[in-house]
Chain A
Amino acid sequence: MAKILIPTPLRQFAEKQDSVELPGATVGEVLGALTAKFPDLKKHLYNDEGKLRSFVNVYLNDEDIRYLNKDATPAAPADTLSIVPSIAGGANYGG
């Protein structure tokens, strides 16, 4: 069970939780379990081709998975996965 930290902007799609523990042997499997649990998160994490969006980074502990083995990076139970989307500040985009 790896721990996943969910950032504020995405908590609205994850029943307002700030972290969850989910099973999976790789980063891809843990993230798959996450989007299975919270289907609304999926389009915020992945594009139509199923690739992680380029304004969302995933870190295994303190390392960006883009510089590890991406989705295939092994995830151990003691690991923490962080989802870190880009944030810009307070400009009002309407709504």
Chain B
Amino acid sequence: MVAEEVAVSLSKEEILRYSRHLIMPEVGMEGQLKLKQAKVLLVGAGGLGAPLGLYLAAAGIGRIGMVDFDVVDFTNLQRQVIHGTKDVGRKKLDSAFETMRDINPYVQLDRHETALTSENAFEIFKDYDYVVDGTDNFPTRYLVNDACVLLNKPNVYGSIFRFEGQATVFAYEGGPCYRCLYPEPPPPGLVPSCAEGGVLGILPGIIGLIQATETVKLILGIGDPLVGRLMLYDALGMKFRELKLRKNPECPICGDHRTITKLIDYQEFCGIPNHPPVEAPVVTGEIDVTELKAKQDRGDKFVLVDVREPHEYQIARIPGSVLIPLGELPKRLNELNPRDEIVMHCKMGGRSAKAVDLLKQNGFTKVINVKGGITAWSDKVDPSVPKY
């Protein structure tokens, strides 16, 4: 088989497969061959990467690379439809590629089983025409943006939170970039807690397919690309809104006076400590779940306060706890007695640490945080308590 021939023509089987594209003049043989010659990199094989991988493979993109180092777990299955129950525990790339190969064996799939870093981004990106951002965190988003701007490659962007999504195409032919839209990320402390997190499982399907649509349009050169426009989607209101996205002349990476000319340390940029201390600092007033269990078994006198939200309390609870959500705590301090020993827990330990601080500021002295929260309780004390 001669490689060039494969690159510029369709086999009889491929013609049949792509017939619904071929009979549309906007795509046709010419367009389908453009798709076949296209090289698209998907960063992330999660919620957004799943529909992207499925549909871009089906559409006949010639070469698709995927960057991901994660393993499929049960909590992924509610939205990451490229993986199935049988895939739990497998590498996401193995699982995703198996599905994509089944959908379309004519696609070349490139494995990039690694975290995307400032060190490897250029090397990974260089072989692709389009980069599609399906990541789930700010450091990687700024890294993808900067690498795309510096390499002059379009960055097909999508992002989701609960019931809302955003999509646009950044860095297209010198157009606005992610830093033009948001010069800086929020500091970690201001990111919504797990109680406010979560995502409607269908949402990444919608946003991922907007990204897939834009990628295909850019390759085909048809329609109006989602450039210079930020699309907002609200699932609850079932509304799409479009906002103007302008190039910021003061943008540090694509503006008139550029100060960023190479990739930087994105963890540091986002205020996330690069190297968490090996030994967590000893916090007085913190116990782990086995100590909590021992306290209960000994019959120690204390009040166990769960500071999660009511909907989380419905999912799982530690026996003997009373529920006072963190947000209500300031108004409900009178329900607690400063003379009692008060032990506080949440899902993972973050919110209850805040609750402990709040109580101490209000004159409580015997307040203890439960490290690892109910998740650790399920891991180490009572596996019958569901994790979520």
Interface, chain A (partner B; CB < 8 A) = 7-9, 12, 18, 44, 53-55, 57, 59, 62-64, 66-67, 82, 84-95
A12–B161 Cα distance when bound, in Å, is 14
CB-CB under 8 A for A86 and B186, given A8-B162, A93-B191, A95-B193 = yes
B137 partner residues in chain A, CB cutoff 8 A? 88-89, 91
Q: Given the complex, which residues of B lie within 8 Å of A62, measured CB to CB?
A: 241-244
- CB neighbors of A among B327-382 (8 A): 327, 346-351
Contact A89 B159, CB 8 Å, known A9-B196, A94-B350:
yes
Are A8 and B244 touching (Cβ within 8 A)?
no
Whether the Cβ atoms of B182 and A57 lie closer than 8 Å is yes
B236 to chain A, nearest CB (A): 8
Tell whether, in the assembled complex, residue B197 and residue A87 are in contact, meaning their CB atoms are under 8 Å apart.
Answer: no
Q: Check A44–B190 contact: CB distance below 8 A.
A: yes
A44 CB, nearest partner CB in chain B, Å: 6
What is the CA–CA distance of A92 and B188 in the complex, to the nearest angstrom?
11
What are 28 A-B pairs at a CB distance below 8 A? A8-B162, A8-B163, A8-B164, A12-B192, A12-B196, A54-B184, A62-B242, A62-B243, A84-B166, A86-B159, A86-B182, A86-B185, A87-B159, A87-B166, A88-B136, A88-B159, A89-B161, A90-B197, A90-B199, A93-B188, A93-B191, A94-B194, A94-B348, A94-B349, A95-B193, A95-B348, A95-B349, A95-B350
A5 to chain B, nearest CB (A): 9
- B residues sitting closer than 8 Å to A (CB atoms) are 46-48, 135-138, 141, 159-164, 166, 181-186, 188, 190-197, 199, 230, 232, 237, 241-246, 248, 327, 346-351
Q: Which residues of A contact B244 (CB under 8 A)?
A: 59, 62-64, 67
Among A8, A44, A55, point to the contact of B185 (Cβ < 8 A). A55
Q: Which residue of A lies closest to B246 (CB)?
A: A67
What's the Cα separation between A12 and B160 when bound, in Å?
18
Per the bound structure, the CA–CA distance linking A92 and B161 in Å amounts to: 12
Which residues of chain B have C-beta atoms less than 8 A from A86's C-beta? Answer: 138, 159, 181-182, 185-186
Q: How far is the CB of A83 from chain B (nearest CB, A)?
A: 11
| Residues in A whose Cβ lies below 8 Å from that of B347 | 95
State the Cβ distance, B65 to closest chain A Cβ, in Å.
20
A92 engages B194 (CB within 8 Å): yes
